């Protein structure tokens, strides 16, 4: 899970995410509500990218946090932000699109906390 370069965004692949989720890891989805409702990784908590800086209190610094978006661009930016603020965060390579294309389960509908 370590980056290849010291300045690289820490990243995990879909298999690593699946294993982490199996162990109860936290996954945040930084897409917008309409994207999340259309399909998301089961268990992902919706915190849209624009809201993340004001919702840091909802996250724990005591365990890794996995960050997902559609394909990996927004999650990389938010992973870098979280790591700069003291979290142990990892961007999910391939994002939700990759998760769905790999035939893993996808949930639809509103988040439980909305």
The answer to whether position 113 is within a domain reads no
The answer to whether position 5 is within a domain reads no
Q: Render pLDDT for 12-49 as a digit per residue (tens, 0 to 9).
A: 999 999 999 999 999 999 999 999 999 999 999 999 99
The answer to whether position 74 is within a domain reads yes
Given a cut of 50, whether residue 105 has pLDDT beyond it is yes
Predicted confidence at residue 3, as pLDDT, reads 46
Range of the domain at 95: 11-101
Predicted confidence at residue 113, as pLDDT, reads 57
Predicted confidence at residue 114, as pLDDT, reads 40
The answer to whether position 109 is within a domain reads no
Rounded-to-integer distance, Cα 16 and Cα 102, Å: 13
Cα Rg of the chain (Å, integer) = 13
The answer to whether position 112 is within a domain reads no
Predicted confidence at residue 6, as pLDDT, reads 58
Inter-residue contact 26 to 68 (CB < 8 Å) = no
The answer to whether position 61 is within a domain reads yes
DSSP code, position 102: T
Phi first, then psi: what are they for 28, rounded to 5°? -115, 140
Rounded-to-integer distance, Cα 37 and Cα 72, Å: 18
Inter-residue contact 40 to 113 (CB < 8 Å) = no
Is 69 an active-site residue? yes
- Domain harbouring 47, CATH code: 3.40.250.10
Q: How many domains does the chain have?
A: 1
The answer to whether position 54 is within a domain reads yes
Q: How confident is the model at residue 78 (pLDDT cuts 50, 70, 90)?
A: very high
SS3 for 72-94, per residue? CHHHHHHHHHHHHCCCCEEEECC
Predicted confidence at residue 112, as pLDDT, reads 66
> Structure tokens of 86?
């003291």
Considering only CA atoms, which of 22, 27, 48 is closest in space to residue 37? 48
Single out the catalytic residue among 25, 28, 69, 92. Answer: 69
């Amino acid at each position: 899970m370590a980056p290849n370069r010291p300045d690289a965004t820490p990243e995990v692949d879909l298999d690593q995410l699946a294993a982490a989720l199996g162990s109860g890891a936290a996954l945040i989805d930084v897409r917008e509500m309409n994207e999340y409702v259309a399909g998301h990784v089961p268990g992902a908590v919706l915190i849209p990218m624009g809201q993340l800086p004001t919702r840091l209190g909802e996250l724990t610094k005591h365990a890794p946090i996995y960050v997902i978006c559609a394909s990996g661009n927004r999650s990389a930016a938010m992973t870098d932000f979280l790591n700069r603020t003291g979290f142990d965060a990892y961007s999910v390579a391939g994002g939700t699109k990759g998760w769905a294309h790999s035939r893993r389960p996808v949930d639809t509908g509103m988040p439980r906390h909305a």
